[in-house]
């Protein structure tokens, strides 16, 4: 019987074995190659040990210790932004424990805070807390984070930050209560407060150029407190939801693609950007010191004086003839107070002999006569005590006026008018900056005004031009 051959037996893919045969020259070559390889490995080990023995380095080739010293020196020289960058380099170059890293991150944060980069400071205070919870840093971080949020003017965020920091760790984050829902979207209490803060900030933005940062934040804080009342918050939420729903519907119906809407949006954008550009110039260029305010006050003292004033009495009647008859009686010796009680239509002052409470001031509207310049001129041209030489017609009737006392202008102390002076100086400097900046832009864009194009055309030239046409 013939034996069946398998596939493995038919196919043999192995190479024929050669008998190893090494000559003397070949052995020497192999030995030499082994020595070279051993020397290379030894060199690598030495280099590795040498590298490990060197101190850690940061950018610029400085050791970690040198970078740490640099950061401290920059901080001492009040170069806080550069100090923050150096501390960050140190974090990347040194091998630190979590406690050490937390302390360095705290240094980074305080440097950013001193440099005025408050958002970066808050981030690094958070990083410090997340790296290690240290009892000695906890109270400091609380105070610094509060200060940074205040400097940023983020009062809604500050409120919930403080609530989280003072509540038990197991409690839910503050502001998480849902106050409204739009489908799957949930509007939390914290989100509502942020929307209110954004709305207040947008309203105050046009005033930003004329207020110091402290004044701006103080006004913002006042408005936020007013809107934080439950009834006001509920009203704001209702208005915001209405606007949001209308906006979403307008997007769905592609209202913004209509030509007339695009023109309107372009005009509004143009107006907003131009106004914002000017505001940024004012904020960056109008810097007022306490010394500037005092100098401006000394140069404009008369502007801040209490103007000339007078105390007066009056009798108000409906007809001119009645007023002239009463004035004649007063000149003949009749008692002004008795006539005021009997005839004056102003029942409030009639009970006080016609005396108007307080004082009237030159250049200011008068409580009984408004902005009537002829009465003002007559009052301050009359010696006290004395009755004006004629009755005057006002919106309420005919007035007979007696000047009881007069007081000359008085100077006001700087402390009394300091904020008023600061506001006026800021407006004055703002107008100057605006003129200069518009002038620069006109030169930059090569603007030429053809004033002659708007000059009135002489009548004769106009007729001649018409006839030529």
Pairing outcome for strands 185-188 and 360-361: unpaired
| φ and ψ at residue 228, rounded to 5 degrees | -85, -10
Q: Is the peptide bond before 203 cis (omega within 30 degrees of 0)?
A: no
pLDDT digits (tens, 9 = 90+) for 146-197: 888 878 877 777 777 777 776 665 556 677 888 999 888 888 888 898 889 8
pLDDT digits (tens, 9 = 90+) for 11-48: 343 434 444 444 444 544 444 455 545 555 445 444 44
Please report the pLDDT score of residue 167 as a whole number.
Answer: 67
Mean pLDDT of all residues in 447-465: 72
The vertex-310 CA angle with 322 and 390, nearest 5°, equals 25
- Percent of the chain at pLDDT > 70 equals 81
Contacts of 387 by beta carbon, 8 Å cutoff, 6+ apart: 327, 330, 331, 336, 400, 401, 402, 403
Q: Which residue has the higher pLDDT, 32 or 286?
A: 286
Please report the pLDDT score of residue 238 as a whole number.
Answer: 94
pLDDT digits (tens, 9 = 90+) for 190-199: 889 888 988 8
Pair 421, 298: CB distance under 8 Å: no
What is the band of 53 on the pLDDT scale with cuts at 50, 70, 90? Answer: very low
Mean pLDDT of all residues in 442-463: 79
Pair 149, 224: CB distance under 8 Å: no
- Domains of the chain are 59-152 (1.25.40.10), 189-283 (no CATH), 288-303+412-461 (no CATH), 306-407 (3.10.50.40)
Pairing outcome for strands 386-387 and 309-317: unpaired
Task: Report, in this order, helix, strand and coil percent for the chain, each rounded to 5.
Answer: 65, 10, 25
Q: What is the pTM of this model?
A: 0.52
pLDDT digits (tens, 9 = 90+) for 340-382: 999 999 998 999 999 999 898 988 887 766 556 788 889 999 9
What is the band of 204 on the pLDDT scale with cuts at 50, 70, 90? Answer: confident
pLDDT digits (tens, 9 = 90+) for 100-146: 999 999 999 989 988 989 989 999 999 998 999 888 888 888 888 88
pLDDT(76) > 70: yes
Which of helix, strand or coil describes residue 153? coil
**Residues 216, 200: Cα–Cα separation, whole Å:** 11
What is the band of 77 on the pLDDT scale with cuts at 50, 70, 90? Answer: confident
Which residue's entry shows tokens 């440097």?
111
> What tokens appear for 460 in the block?
């004769």
What is the band of 94 on the pLDDT scale with cuts at 50, 70, 90? Answer: confident
What is the band of 433 on the pLDDT scale with cuts at 50, 70, 90? Answer: very high
């Amino acid at each position: 019987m013939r034996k069946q051959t398998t596939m493995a037996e038919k196919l043999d893919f192995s190479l024929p074995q050669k008998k190893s045969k090494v000559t003397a020259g070949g052995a020497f070559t192999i030995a030499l190659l082994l020595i070279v390889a051993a020397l290379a490995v030894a060199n690598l080990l030495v280099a590795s040990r040498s590298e490990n023995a060197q101190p850690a380095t940061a950018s610029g080739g400085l050791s970690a210790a040198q970078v740490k010293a640099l950061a401290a020196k920059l901080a001492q020289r009040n170069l806080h932004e550069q100090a923050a960058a150096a501390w960050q380099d140190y974090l990347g170059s040194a091998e630190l424990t979590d406690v050490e890293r937390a302390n360095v991150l705290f240094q980074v944060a305080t440097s950013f805070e001193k440099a005025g980069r408050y958002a970066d400071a808050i981030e690094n205070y958070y990083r410090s807390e997340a790296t290690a919870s240290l009892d000695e840093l906890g109270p400091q971080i609380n105070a610094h984070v509060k200060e940074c949020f205040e400097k940023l003017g983020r009062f809604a965020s500050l409120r919930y930050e403080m609530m989280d920091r003072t509540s038990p760790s197991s409690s839910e984050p503050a502001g998480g209560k849902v106050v409204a829902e739009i489908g799957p979207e949930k509007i939390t209490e914290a989100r509502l407060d942020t929307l209110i803060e954004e709305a207040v900030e947008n309203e105050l933005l046009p005033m930003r150029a004329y207020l110091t940062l402290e004044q701006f934040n103080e006004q913002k804080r006042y408005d936020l407190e007013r809107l934080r009342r439950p009834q006001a918050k509920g009203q704001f939420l209702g208005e915001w939801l209405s606007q949001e729903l209308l906006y979403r519907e307008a997007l769905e119906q592609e209202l913004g693609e209509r030509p007339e809407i695009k023109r309107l949006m372009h005009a509004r954008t143009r107006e907003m950007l131009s106004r914002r550009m000017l505001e940024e110039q004012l904020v960056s260029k109008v810097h007022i010191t306490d010394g500037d305010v005092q100098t401006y006050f000394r140069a404009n003292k008369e502007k801040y004086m209490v103007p000339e004033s007078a105390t007066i009495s009056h009798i108000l009647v409906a007809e001119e003839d009645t007023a002239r008859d009463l004035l004649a009686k007063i000149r003949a010796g009749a008692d002004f107070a008795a006539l005021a009680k009997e005839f004056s239509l102003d029942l409030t002052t009639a009970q006080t002999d016609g005396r108007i409470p307080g004082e009237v001031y030159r250049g200011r509207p008068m409580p009984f006569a408004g902005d009537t310049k002829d009465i003002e001129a007559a009052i301050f041209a009359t010696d006290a005590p004395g009755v004006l030489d004629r009755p005057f017609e006002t919106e309420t009737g005919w007035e007979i006026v007696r000047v009881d006392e007069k007081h000359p202008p008085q100077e006001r102390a700087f402390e009394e008018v300091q904020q008023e002076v600061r506001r006026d100086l800021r407006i004055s400097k703002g107008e100057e900056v605006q003129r200069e900046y518009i002038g620069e832009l006109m030169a930059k864009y090569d603007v030429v005004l053809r004033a002659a194009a708007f000059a009135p055309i002489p009548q004769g030239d106009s007729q001649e031009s018409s006839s030529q046409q």
